[in-house]
Amino acid sequence: MSKDKYSKKDLARFKKEITKRIDELNGNMDGIRDDLNIDSKGNASLAQDSVYSVHMADAGTDSYEREKGFHLMNRETDYINFLNLALQRIDSGEFGICAVCGKKILEERMMEVPNATKCVSCKEGEKLNLNKV
């Protein structure tokens, strides 16, 4: 096997880890959904129905918390989508290969950031070029 690609055993390990992360994120999102559903049945819906029945500051706090929950769900959903793309790259054999230089990305990076598509030096170079603009 080429040194520029991960072995099937390594890819299976990455796939297992990514699948585990997706499952954890889905569990977290279920909790967030539950919280949002509880909030919508509580004071937040009252705040929208009748401004006079709830103090304005309480209504603002409820709205802020709901907005924060939706923002977190969007963020988690985006991350799950990136992880699903990583699983597709595992299936296609492109996982762990830098999209810029074509070299194998370090295993430590792939374990920490399994959705990475660039090695550290190419990613740093990209950031340096963006800072110059």
Buried-state track 13-31, b at ≥16 Cβ within 10 A, e below 16: ebbeebeebbeeeeeeeee
**Is the residue at 73 inside a domain?**
yes
Mean pLDDT of the chain: 85
Both tokens of 14, joined, read: 């990455």
Q: What is the pLDDT of residues 16-35, one digit of tens each?
A: 999 999 999 999 888 888 88
Query: 28 is in which domain, residue-wise?
Result: 8-95
**Is the residue at 116 inside a domain?**
no
**Is the residue at 85 inside a domain?**
yes
- For 123, list phi and psi in degrees, rounded to 5: -65, -40
Please give the tally of structural domains in the chain.
1
Q: What is the pLDDT of residues 44-65, one digit of tens each?
A: 444 455 445 567 787 788 888 8
CA distance 10 to 7: 5
**Is the residue at 52 inside a domain?**
yes
Q: What is the pLDDT of residues 67-86, one digit of tens each?
A: 898 999 999 999 999 999 99
**Is the residue at 42 inside a domain?**
yes
CA distance 112 to 18: 10
- Answering whether pTM is above 0.85, one says no
Q: Measuring CA to CA, which residue among 52, 50, 46 is closest to residue 66? A: 46
